Amino acid sequence: MREIVLINITGEDRPGLTSAITGVLAQGGVNILDIGQAVIHDTLSFGILVEIPHTEEASSVLKDVLFTAYKLDQQVRFTPVSEADYQQWVNGQGKPRHIVTLLTRKVTAEQLNRVSSITAKYGLNIDHIDRLSGRMPLDMPEDQGKGCIEFSVRGEPADPVALREEFLREAQALNVDIAFQQDSLFRRNRRLAVFDMDSTLIEAEVIDELAKAAGVGEQVAEITERAMRGELDFRASFKERLALLKGLSEDVLEDIGASLRLTEGAETLFAELKRLGYKTAILSGGFTYFAKQLQAKLGIDYVYANELEIVDGKLTGVAIEPIVDAQRKADLLRELAHKEGLQLEQTIAVGDGANDLPMLGLAGLGVAFRAKPLVKQSAKQAISTLGLDGVLYLLGLRDRDGHN
């Protein structure tokens, strides 16, 4: 007769503990069926599921484990597992897996309670919970903190659409972001990331800044806002706004370029993507003059944006075709993926406006960043709480993996 036992060991973490316990098990000829270990604030939680053969050598193995743990000042609990329960556990290994990611400035018990309650409501079992963000000082200002908790869950949600809607509602109520994605092979095997520029990589809509300089700021800003919300066709509204800039001196471009601020987390994100071997691109309905400045600053591989027509040092109020609109962005994502020999599942797209939705829907990971409500609801994932480097958490990267 064989015996299946779950051994749980808890206590102060110390070197050599795993070696000591497995050494005792080895003497009894024990087979390991499952194992897991976590350390939280120097306190160890170690679980090991074992199959103990019915032999003379194995007869005292649990007593020896207890004695060894006692010497190491650890607490031990033994839980017998029936063969039927073990077989049921084995049969569950083919179930789909998903990742739920909580992004917040400061992690609270209420946030974890809401996320875990929703996962349970839709029939998902939580297998692992990990903190991806770094250790946070107690006196960290609320707006500068960065917290990320990742839940690995097993099963298929009873109603995926309703689950996403509920996560979105809770995220808005708690002022956090909650991402839900399939835990697939592609999650850690993406190699191309494309970005909108205005209000995504930079904290401004450049066309609005140009309009202010031309004295038509309010008029253009209103059209921009409606276009980003999806109320106006991008191409038509773009031409309408651009026409109002006719006669503006090209000298203004340099002044505006010098005043543009990168979005929080942009430099960290691009440094990490480069370290991981990603190709990066700007796919923007903005202007190449500013996109090329960002390309030089962040080391971006490709730039596709709109070229302002300038004659005798002044803007003519038109852009040189082809105009980069919503469809063009999606087409460019396809072309770049093909050029790099990648499947679309291996791509990331990040943007904030309605004209970004086609490329966000096409990419393996589409992220609406600090986006309008319509865009947040339509995109696969959304980040509004943290900076751009929050994208790294959606890839499963920890702060200690390299980024801060």
Per-residue confidence (pLDDT) for residue 403, from 0 to 100: 53
CATH number of the domain enclosing 324: 3.40.50.1000
Whether residue 221 sits in one domain with residue 121: no
Burial of 389 (0-12, 13-18, 19+ CB in 10 A): buried
Q: Does residue 100 lie within any of the structural domains?
A: yes
- C-alpha to C-alpha distance for 47 and 126, rounded to whole angstroms: 16
- pLDDT 10s digits, 65-117: 999 999 999 999 999 999 999 998 888 777 789 999 999 999 999 999 999 99
Whether residue 232 sits in one domain with residue 323: yes
Whether residue 87 sits in one domain with residue 113: no
- C-alpha to C-alpha distance for 32 and 46, rounded to whole angstroms: 13
Whether residue 371 sits in one domain with residue 223: yes
pLDDT, mean over the chain: 93
Per-residue confidence (pLDDT) for residue 92, from 0 to 100: 75
- pLDDT 10s digits, 126-144: 999 999 999 888 888 877 8
Per-residue confidence (pLDDT) for residue 139, from 0 to 100: 82
Whether residue 112 sits in one domain with residue 39: no
The catalytic residue positions are: 196, 198
- Among 43, 68, 91, the domain-final residue is 91
pLDDT of residue 404 exceeding 60, the answer is no
- Among 154, 182, 210, the domain-final residue is 182
Whether residue 362 sits in one domain with residue 261: yes
What is the domain range of residue 335? 192-401
How many beta carbons lie within 10 A of that of residue 55, not counting itself? 11
Per-residue confidence (pLDDT) for residue 61, from 0 to 100: 92
Whether residue 300 sits in one domain with residue 210: yes
Going by C-alpha positions, the residue among 14, 7, 154, 5 that lies closest to residue 81 is 5
Whether residue 393 sits in one domain with residue 353: yes
Rounded alpha-carbon distances, angstroms, from residue 231 to 90, 99, 350: 52, 33, 20
DSSP 59: T
More confident residue, 373 or 352: 352
**What's the whole-number mean pLDDT along residues 352-372?**
95
Task: State the alpha helices, DSSP H only, in 50-204.
Answer: 61-71, 83-91, 109-121, 160-174
Q: Does residue 187 lie within any of the structural domains?
A: no
- pLDDT 10s digits, 214-262: 999 998 888 888 888 888 888 888 899 999 999 999 999 999 999 999 9
- Among 44, 71, 91, the domain-final residue is 91
Whether residue 396 sits in one domain with residue 282: yes
Whether residue 178 sits in one domain with residue 208: no
Burial of 234 (0-12, 13-18, 19+ CB in 10 A): buried
pLDDT band for position 274 (cuts 50, 70, 90): very high
- pLDDT 10s digits, 11-32: 999 899 999 999 999 999 999 9
Per-residue confidence (pLDDT) for residue 130, from 0 to 100: 94
**What's the whole-number mean pLDDT along residues 335-348?**
97
- pLDDT 10s digits, 177-204: 999 999 988 887 899 999 999 999 999 9
Going by C-alpha positions, the residue among 362, 216, 195, 215 that lies closest to residue 286 is 195
Tally of structural domains, the chain: 3
- C-alpha to C-alpha distance for 207 and 224, rounded to whole angstroms: 8
CATH number of the domain enclosing 32: 3.30.70.260
